[in-house]
Structure 1
Amino acid sequence: MHKILFICTGNTCRSPMAEAIFKHKTNNRFEVRSAGIFAHDGSSASAHSIEILKNQSIPIDHKSKQLTTELVAWSDLILTMGNSHKQLIQQRYPKATEKVFSLKEYALNRKADIADPYGGSLNDYEKTFNEIEEAILKLIEKLDNQGEADQH
């Protein structure tokens, strides 16, 4: 079973949404966590993130976590919301370089960031949700195809 870690800056907007969407879409077939490069442990997900997920009937129970050596070691795949997060992780944890990708890079073959809605309107969060959901659906497809290939 893949252990997937989603990373953003504060672990209150993008990575918690990615974690919740991924868990929901895969019916918990994978172990999934999220963390933030500069997170304060114990903060709730942002109100807009919670509202957007609730509107989509996606459950979320989240407290922010700082990225740690233990989380990096735990994960099989680290997916960041932006290229700067990826670069920072690769600098801090050089042994993890092979398993760190931006979400769009890994899922969509695009070198682009997921827009950061922090401090924005509900509409900004909705746009970010749609971006994340598109990438998550492709990610699931890719992981399922890899799983089938591993079984042959």
Structure 2
Amino acid sequence: MKILMVCLGNICRSPLAEGILKSKLPSNFTVDSAGTINMHEGNAPDKRSVEVAVKNGLNISKQRSRHFQSQDLDEYDRIFCMDKNNLRDVLSLAESDEQRQKVSLLMNDLNLKQHPHEVPDPYWSGSEGFDQVYRQIDEACEIIAENLLKESFKIKP
């Protein structure tokens, strides 16, 4: 199964989501990330994302930003967007219901009475914003990983 995490520039939230979800899934799952804009294409994750990842035992420093492409809608089985703007941008490229059904907000599976629907962009915040975003993404990825593992063990007809 192939999963794609999407945020705006692919340097803050989605690289964290990629690293966090990879750490929770076996190696037969592929997890990648992309951004809806190409402004940072080829760049490493924001140093604050790298720092919060290291603080939590993950290394995301080798990841490189890439721009979301319409073919990603065919290549990936699940696409998780960090916020409603990213969701709208990704869905605007979808050409079929099958493609649209692959796309959702990362936070959709959490109890939304306690959590927002979106992962805020920490780019303009200090390290505390990155810590908060890491915790949000980690909690969402825990549930996503459980659901993906259950789904992968279902026998398909």
Give the total of aligned pairs. Answer: 150
Cα offset, 1:109, TM superposition: 6.1
Q: Which residue of 2 aligns with 1:114?
A: 119
Aligned to 1:55: 55
Amino acid paired to 1:68: Q
For 1:93, the equivalent position in structure 2 comes to 94
Greater mean deviation of Cα atoms: 76-85 or 142-151: 142-151
Contact 1:24-1:59 at 8 Å conserved across structures? no
Residue aligned with 2:71, SS? helix
Q: TM-score, normalised by structure 1?
A: 0.91
**Pairwise CA RMSD:** 1.7
What is aligned with 2:43?
A: 43
Unaligned stretches of 5+ in structure 1?
Answer: none
Alignment partners' CA distance in 2, 1:151 and 1:56? 36
User: Does the C-alpha gap of structure 1 residues 100 and 132 become closer, same or farther in structure 2, counting only changes over 3 Å?
Assistant: same
Structure 1 moving runs of 4+ over 4 Å: none
Once the two structures are superposed, residues 18-59 of structure 1 have per-residue CA deviations (whole angstroms, 9 ceiling, x without a partner) of: 000111122433111100001331011001000000111112
The answer to whether the 8 Å contact 2:42/2:65 transfers is yes
Which AA in structure 1 matches 2:74? A
Equivalent residues in 2 for 1:12-31 (5 A)? 12-31=11-30
SS in 1 for 2:33: strand
8 Å contact from structure 1 (residues 11, 64) kept in 2: yes
The code of the aligned residue for 2:13 comes to R
Task: Provide the TM-score with structure 2 as the length reference.
Answer: 0.88
CA gap 1:134/1:41 in 2 versus in 1, 3 angstroms: same
Unmatched 5+ stretches in structure 2: none
Aligned-partner residue type, residue 47 of structure 2: A
Q: How big is the shift at 1:148?
A: 2.8
Structure 2 SS opposite 1:92? coil
Task: Decide whether the 8 Å contact of 2:17 with 2:138 is kept in 1.
Answer: yes
Identity within the alignment, %:
28
Q: Per residue, is there more helix in 1 or in 2?
A: 1
Amino acid at match of 2:41: D
